[in-house]
Structure 1
């Protein structure tokens, strides 16, 4: 088939949120720039191929590093995972990744988002794309070490971040969770990111089973930075034989710093992003259950569905500041804000389908889900010294509000008078916390150096609420046909909920050098939950320097995670694939609801985990370091969604006994599994002279395998087991080469994403299963320092235009979804971009 150029119109999105098409010159700039990337790609590949030989020669050569490649870049002082003030990456007792501001900005990709950058840089971080996944099209969940998204704790400047209000019910990754939305934190606000890959519940509280991500905001006291980027996807799409240009993206940011006194500062910024949708759907083959009418058959061979990125418009802002009150006291404050509107895709409804009214949509229709996300975090505090104690007293408040809707839809039971746009529900999440942290050196008899003692108190209140949608979004009308908004229905007034929780905790942390070569740290924490009682957690970590270059490190810890408020009280109905793969309405209910108890649900219990890790660090030269850490994580009473209960006559039972109409399946949250995750992480990096310039090479790899040790067969089905065990890649490798000479710089990053497996359970033994092969991704960038203030860059993500394996016929939904969402490489193809940054 000959290739043609195709672009998604995006008219409905422009009508819904008022976006204007991108200027032609902006669209074409990165497209023309990609022609210049071929020599850059070849040069970057050369870096990767020759890098291994250079590393092997590193110890035999005497290097003279420049200021940009000093060992300080390899060994920054850490503020996460320990409360000692002299800990670096090299002597940390647990594995910690430190990502610089420049690393994050260069890896953000077409999303222009923080989570996309983290996935590009950290092999243990998984952030797959979603499509036709309801709310997950608008708020994506991320994983660390293959565990659930709500099992990682996120901090901003060391203060707990609030969670998203939206509960993902139609996604594969993070199904049934409402974790932190990383993408609500502006990229331009980031100074660096520290990621602790170890359980840290005893140090920071619940949610830290998989680890901790601490985003440290920009604290530069002076200077202005302006950045602008434009890009688009340009791909040869094999399922349709066409070349596609879409997903046009433009973003810009402005940050400015002001010095306040001797040490004080105020840094603030604003950024915006506008992205058009992408579409990677295949040619429709018309599902078997649809009538073979002339109008329905006319849709065959067309692209009726949309699989890809949602259209997005967002604005973000931040500030970070501090002012000296005296020589030993400082007041500080910081905050972030985002408003985001997005439009996702839903399944196509055929002209002569029972889900259509032909007088309204004579050619059928594809509903579009809409999301309006508003996010805010504000924190303020005092820090300083009083006597031998250093203190930090703070108050932190965060909130997230999400309005969920659908447009180009129908409530068939209302007939021709049905609206075509519906508000499906309101979701809100709140977190207010107060913290007091105290640290001081303590002289311990027999120790040559003082130990560090840390004590702390914290209290927090969490709130979660949902509000009903439009009455028409769930109404049961007088006409024949499905009730409720298609691609909905809305949240009913009886399902709206309002929950709160209060937690008070205290901790003690003691770290000490027991000898010249041996250091250890112990932490103990006690929390009281007003709804889940008391919880005590502990952690012990240690590091032993065997030689000047080699050290052993390890940690054991216990962790506790109470069910989120959403998991306790959330109720909602979605349209999903049901028995035989047909579209049906599935209702999620609380475990302690009338329907939940009727179907055998038990009250939820808290998750408890036991973590253990053992690692080796090796630094044979000042500019060469390697770490290898193995770990095991056992989680008891792990919370997941039950399998979909959809027996014969269930719809009639729900209608007659509970007044719930049109629901063919039900699931609920359950403690149905105990899991064990085993894995290992490897990070090695070298910096020195090479290829006529300065060269930095790194290899980061991650492996993890989760197995289900015990589970309740009646509650946890094959799809849920798949979600926990094999839906995310077990292996990822990231090879990076960075080269700089004068005003020129090149970057090449080759990533191997491991295999993933998709399982559907459509009932009656029909269980389509497919394993998607591992796939390589190449990202390249060339940078030119035009002047001291101006930097220009061009680059490509997935420069070789790779895709995952094509889905089998049983999973591709009659040719409409040729690629699954599981692979981290995504299903959009190559993305080309150009960026300009002005600093003064």
Structure 2
């Protein structure tokens, strides 16, 4: 039976077996009190004025612990969350970017225990999804440290500060005072790779985690600590090389028919550590602290360099070479604070420090301009971002006008700093062989002129109030003033309400405005690189900051902040203890969306830069722009049904999400570019495609779980919607392909041997589904048969086993 014929069978299994996708926790613990999106101390998921999903540690463990990736677990559980796997995508091979509601990765705010999480230092400039952003690195957050995650799917800039355009993801850490757990899993991909007609086993992944806690004193104090170790081997789904026509020399044709490229996940080794604790003092106060640490070494794929060509010396690589990028990622967050009661006011004062350091290296590379004696290993740059946040928050409850109100107010001081450091001199040197490309292949090193050192201060003051008017009406209102050192001040506000118009039926809605200043990296990052353009031809390019004189001469201007308006309207229902549902419609309008320009290339550019700035060999250039206004419209549905079955409990969950982004008021190509070449376009087909069609508009899942004292059976069938890729190769050659929707079936069986020991076996993508193969215009001469756009990825089926011990 073909894997496509198995999809209906998977649907039947999901309906008869096991566990939920999105909002499983919302299904099983609807009465869990939420802390995200409201000041009220007693609201549950369905009572929230804005849509909030709650995911438990058990949900996450079963959805993503088999590979230790929090981002993958969230994609499995949240239809609005997209976490695509990148390959041959530069920095995105090392730090994957996530999306919420189809928006950019830097338009979602991430909190840990309610405190702002820092972003990565590495700018994704070669990826499709998340291009031009420095996203939060979800995989640097230990999955074993999590008690639950609350996801607010609504604009929340007035409540939490800038960046909360698409929503807020609040990671709440494990605070059990005693006991612990140990867990180990091992899995691998076993799949039929159609382009090479082979069955392959690869991507072997081992993951071990442990955590333990102890009480501190007799008044509720505790200290909890954990550690995770992960090792993942690489995967490869590349096809057989047909050799591009412009590379077809006798020497190069000798490697025809080989797998010269790599398409898949790079090898990864990582360590995660975390701690969480509190220590009471005085009558009502407590000192709290928590932190996370991640050290991760990763590898990424790059295009093959053929034996005979300007980018190679046969004396070094007689059979050609494929550079391998190496990432050294170090990520730290440390938070300490005190909270308690001060008269009728509750206070919370905290200091939050986060830092990410990333060192980018290359091996199996070459600086061809240095000749046969060129090094083959390079450090191409250092990147660092750190963020310090000081916060004082006050709140109190009072009655007025026949209603109960919770008032919150506070101030926040934030300092951000972004730095880049030059690579090895050999990584950017222009050697004596002037007919050869300069710089290390697969990413020339940052030059001393490229180095950035930027910082800024952000001050904000806010107030919000959550009110309960009788049994039926509840509201949330918030206002914030935020002042950026480099962009001035901005007011944001939000008003949300929920009205229960009949028993078990309610309407909710919200309106808010949000503000996102361009990141420091979007303002100051510069890089010089030698690589392949979209058409597969070798080019030397520059990514220029908007302050660079060359960029100004090409029409660059100061970046403006993004401003947005969010509207939502929803319906919720809970019928007895068996059934609940929610349906929310939303619209997000964003003005002055920040994005990278198209790559500006050609002889006119090269001559212009040479003649006016004395810089030779620049074949392409790009810079950040306020590209367009966008409007995103969508809907999200969650339904849960639960009932006793046999000696256990059966839970069925259905979810669906839709988000469509359209461009409005696209930035015009500046006259400076048109004067060089009337065919130049500042923001055109490729980057428009990045914002609108490259992300699937729809995702849906049905899931089921049944469990009793000994057994837990679970299954989930997810439908990933279609996505479209557009290339502009120039000269009117604009290949386009829409990749159809794909179904993914996951299942797991867990058996509790004793109250402390359990074992599980399971699989993800059990029907071994793949995206559509790319057509001949896009698959790069057989080498890259699958695109990276589909969330199902191109790794095929994955099988795993797990053992767990709790104490």
* Shorter-normalised TM range: over 0.9
Matched residue of 1:613: which SS? strand
Distance 1:579 1:237 in 2: 25
Contact in 2 for aligned 1:44/1:747 (Cα 8 Å): no
Q: Deviations over 1:380-409 (max 9, x none)?
A: 000110111111100000000000011000
The residue that corresponds to 1:178 in the other structure is 134
Candidates 262, 266, 283, aligned match of 1:327: 283
Contact in 2 for aligned 1:588/1:666 (Cα 8 Å): yes
Q: Deviations over 1:55-108 (max 9, x none)?
A: 9xxxxxxxxxxxx99987122101111111111101000000000001001111
Candidates 704, 721, 729, aligned match of 2:696: 729
Report how many aligned residue pairs link the two structures.
785
Distance 1:581 1:297 in 2: 17
Q: Does 1:49 align with 2:21?
A: no
Q: Does 1:266 align with 2:223?
A: yes
Matched residue of 1:546: which SS? strand
Candidates 426, 429, 434, aligned match of 1:472: 426
Deviation at 1:667, TM superposition (A): 0.8
- Taking a change above 3 Å as real, the CA distance of residues 419 and 390 of structure 1, as seen in their structure-2 partners, is same
- Taking a change above 3 Å as real, the CA distance of residues 224 and 101 of structure 1, as seen in their structure-2 partners, is same
Matched residue of 1:417: which SS? coil
- Taking a change above 3 Å as real, the CA distance of residues 580 and 332 of structure 1, as seen in their structure-2 partners, is closer
Q: Deviations over 1:478-515 (max 9, x none)?
A: 01311110001000100101000100101010121234
Distance 1:323 1:559 in 2: 37
Candidates 145, 160, 185, aligned match of 1:229: 185
Q: Does 1:780 align with 2:747?
A: yes
Distance 2:327 2:765 in 1: 28
- Taking a change above 3 Å as real, the CA distance of residues 576 and 722 of structure 1, as seen in their structure-2 partners, is farther
The residue that corresponds to 1:19 in the other structure is none
Q: Deviations over 1:627-680 (max 9, x none)?
A: 000000000001011111113232233244334443311111001200000000
Distance 1:244 1:370 in 2: 25
Distance 1:70 1:527 in 2: 33
Q: Does 1:552 align with 2:507?
A: yes
Distance 1:489 1:229 in 2: 39
Q: Does 1:584 align with 2:551?
A: no
The residue that corresponds to 2:3 in the other structure is none
Matched residue of 2:457: which SS? strand
Q: Deviations over 1:345-390 (max 9, x none)?
A: 1100011121100000000000000100000000000011011111
Distance 2:199 2:27 in 1: 46
Contact in 1 for aligned 2:656/2:700 (Cα 8 Å): yes
Candidates 695, 699, 707, aligned match of 1:740: 707
Distance 1:310 1:655 in 2: 38
Distance 1:656 1:101 in 2: 60
- Taking a change above 3 Å as real, the CA distance of residues 431 and 743 of structure 1, as seen in their structure-2 partners, is same
The residue that corresponds to 1:453 in the other structure is 407
Contact in 2 for aligned 1:116/1:127 (Cα 8 Å): yes
Distance 1:666 1:510 in 2: 49
Deviation at 1:572, TM superposition (A): 1.1
Distance 1:813 1:69 in 2: 44
Candidates 531, 537, 550, aligned match of 2:492: 537
The residue that corresponds to 1:120 in the other structure is 76
Deviation at 1:50, TM superposition (A): 4.6
TM superposition score normalised by structure 1:
0.91
Contact in 2 for aligned 1:581/1:762 (Cα 8 Å): no
Stretch moving more, 116-125 or 687-696: 687-696
- Taking a change above 3 Å as real, the CA distance of residues 113 and 725 of structure 1, as seen in their structure-2 partners, is same
Q: Deviations over 1:588-645 (max 9, x none)?
A: 1111211110100111000000000000001112232100000000000010111111
Matched residue of 2:665: which SS? strand
The residue that corresponds to 2:723 in the other structure is 756
The residue that corresponds to 1:13 in the other structure is none
- Taking a change above 3 Å as real, the CA distance of residues 768 and 109 of structure 1, as seen in their structure-2 partners, is farther
Give 4+ residue runs of structure 1 displaced > 6 Å after superposition.
41-44, 68-72
Candidates 777, 784, 790, aligned match of 1:823: 790
Stretch moving more, 747-756 or 80-89: 80-89
Q: Does 1:256 align with 2:223?
A: no
Matched residue of 1:81: which SS? coil
Distance 2:707 2:534 in 1: 57
Stretch moving more, 68-77 or 816-825: 68-77
Contact in 2 for aligned 1:170/1:576 (Cα 8 Å): no
Distance 1:402 1:70 in 2: 37
Distance 1:370 1:784 in 2: 40
- Taking a change above 3 Å as real, the CA distance of residues 778 and 629 of structure 1, as seen in their structure-2 partners, is same
Distance 1:579 1:268 in 2: 46
Candidates 297, 302, 322, aligned match of 1:346: 302
The residue that corresponds to 1:21 in the other structure is none
- Taking a change above 3 Å as real, the CA distance of residues 831 and 47 of structure 1, as seen in their structure-2 partners, is closer
Counterpart mapping for 1:237-316 below 5 A: 237-261=193-217, 262-293=219-250, 295-316=251-272
The residue that corresponds to 2:678 in the other structure is none
- Taking a change above 3 Å as real, the CA distance of residues 42 and 754 of structure 1, as seen in their structure-2 partners, is closer
Q: Which runs of 5+ in 2 are unaligned?
A: 1-5, 670-681
Distance 1:128 1:574 in 2: 25
- Taking a change above 3 Å as real, the CA distance of residues 253 and 50 of structure 1, as seen in their structure-2 partners, is closer
Deviation at 1:580, TM superposition (A): 4.2
Matched residue of 1:799: which SS? coil
Q: Which runs of 5+ in 1 are unaligned?
A: 1-38, 56-67
Matched residue of 2:427: which SS? helix
The residue that corresponds to 1:636 in the other structure is 591
Candidates 96, 107, 111, aligned match of 1:151: 107
Q: Deviations over 1:531-588 (max 9, x none)?
A: 1001100000000001111000000000000000000000013445437442323321
Contact in 1 for aligned 2:17/2:713 (Cα 8 Å): no
The residue that corresponds to 1:802 in the other structure is 769
Contact in 2 for aligned 1:395/1:435 (Cα 8 Å): yes
The residue that corresponds to 1:503 in the other structure is 458
Distance 1:681 1:332 in 2: 36
Deviation at 1:793, TM superposition (A): 0.6
Contact in 2 for aligned 1:45/1:748 (Cα 8 Å): no
Deviation at 1:49, TM superposition (A): 3.2
Q: Does 1:675 align with 2:623?
A: no
- Taking a change above 3 Å as real, the CA distance of residues 576 and 146 of structure 1, as seen in their structure-2 partners, is farther
Q: Does 1:101 align with 2:101?
A: no
Counterpart mapping for 1:389-428 below 5 A: 389-428=345-384
Distance 1:157 1:43 in 2: 41
Q: How big is the alpha-carbon RMSD for the aligned residues of Structure 1 and Structure 2?
A: 1.9
Q: Does 1:440 align with 2:396?
A: yes
Deviation at 1:110, TM superposition (A): 5.5
Matched residue of 2:420: which SS? strand
Distance 1:136 1:736 in 2: 31
Deviation at 1:291, TM superposition (A): 3.5
Deviation at 1:44, TM superposition (A): 7.8
Distance 1:223 1:578 in 2: 54
The residue that corresponds to 1:649 in the other structure is 604
Distance 2:733 2:804 in 1: 54
Deviation at 1:327, TM superposition (A): 2.8
The residue that corresponds to 2:469 in the other structure is 514
Deviation at 1:292, TM superposition (A): 2.2
- Taking a change above 3 Å as real, the CA distance of residues 691 and 589 of structure 1, as seen in their structure-2 partners, is farther
Stretch moving more, 712-721 or 502-511: 712-721
Contact in 2 for aligned 1:265/1:321 (Cα 8 Å): yes
